[in-house]
Chains A and B, each alone.
Chain A
Amino acid sequence: MLMNPVNAAVAPRGRTVLLSSVSSDSHTWNLVFLQLLLEEMGHRVINLGACVADELLVQECSAIRPDLVVISTVNGHGQADGLRLIGKLRADPETRDTPVVIGGKLGITGGAPEGMARRLVEAGFSAVFQDDADPAALGRFLAALEDRAEPRREVAAP
Chain B
Amino acid sequence: MSSTGSFAGLAGRSAGLLVQPRMGFSDPARMRAGLDAVRRAGAATVGTLTLDSYTRVKDYDSAGRALADALPLNGYPLVTHGPDTTRAVLDGIQGPDFPVQVRHGSALPDDIIAALVAAGLDATEGGPVSYCLPYSRVPLREATAGWARSCERFAELRDRGVEPHLESFGGCMMGQLCPPGLLIAITVLEGLFFHRHGLRSISLSYAQQTDARQDEEAVAALRSLATAFLPDDTDWHIVVYAYMGKYPRTHGGALLVLRAAAGLAVRTGATRLIVKTPAESYRIPTIEENVEALEFAGAAAAAEATRTPPDPAPPPDTGIAAEARQLIEAVLDLHPDVGQALVRAFAKGYLDVPYCLHADNHGRSRGYIDEAGRLRWASVGSMPIRGITGGTREQAVGSSELLSALSYVERTHDLLALRSQDTRTSDALDAGTTAADLRQA
Residues of A within 8 A of B (CB): 1-4, 6, 23-26, 28-29, 31-33, 36-37, 40, 47, 49-52, 75-77, 80, 108-110
Contact = CB atoms under 8 A, between A and B. Distances in A.
Contact of B403 (A2, A33, A47, A108): A33
A40 B398 contact: yes
A49 B59 contact: no
8 contacts: A1-B358, A23-B59, A26-B134, A28-B356, A29-B355, A49-B357, A75-B53, A108-B72
A28 B363 contact: no
Among A40, A52, A108, residue most surrounded by chain B Cβ atoms (within 10 Å): A108
A1 B59 contact: no
Contacts of B355: 3, 28-29, 32
B57 A23 contact: yes
Given A77-B74, A109-B283, A110-B283, A50 B105 contact: no
A139 to B, nearest CB: 11
A51 B399 contact: no
Contacts of A75: 53, 74
A25 B137 CA distance: 11
Interface in B34-72: 53-54, 56-57, 59, 62, 66, 71-72
B359 A50 contact: no
Interface of chain B, main secondary structure: loop
A24 B53 contact: yes
Contacts of B363: 1-4
A33 B53 CA distance: 22
Contacts of B341: none
A121 B286 CA distance: 31
B15 interface: no
B399 A29 contact: no
Contacts of B72: 108
B66 A29 contact: no
B357 A28 contact: yes
Given A24-B62, A50-B357, A108 B402 contact: no
A1 B364 contact: no
Nearest to A5: B396
A51 B74 contact: no
A33 B283 contact: no
Given A3-B355, A50-B357, A110-B282, A40 B399 contact: yes
Contacts of B176: 29
Interface in B372-429: 396-399, 402-403, 406
A25 B53 contact: yes
Nearest to A47: B357
A31 B358 CA distance: 12
Nearest to B283: A110
B51 to A, nearest CB: 12
Contacts of A29: 174-176, 355, 406
A109 B53 CA distance: 16
A31 B136 CA distance: 14
Nearest to A21: B357
Among A2, A32, A110, residue most surrounded by chain B Cβ atoms (within 10 Å): A32
B59 A6 contact: no
A33 B358 contact: no
A77 B57 CA distance: 13
B135 interface: yes
B135 A24 contact: no
B105 A1 contact: no
B402 A3 contact: no
Interface in B330-361: 355-359
A50 B137 contact: yes
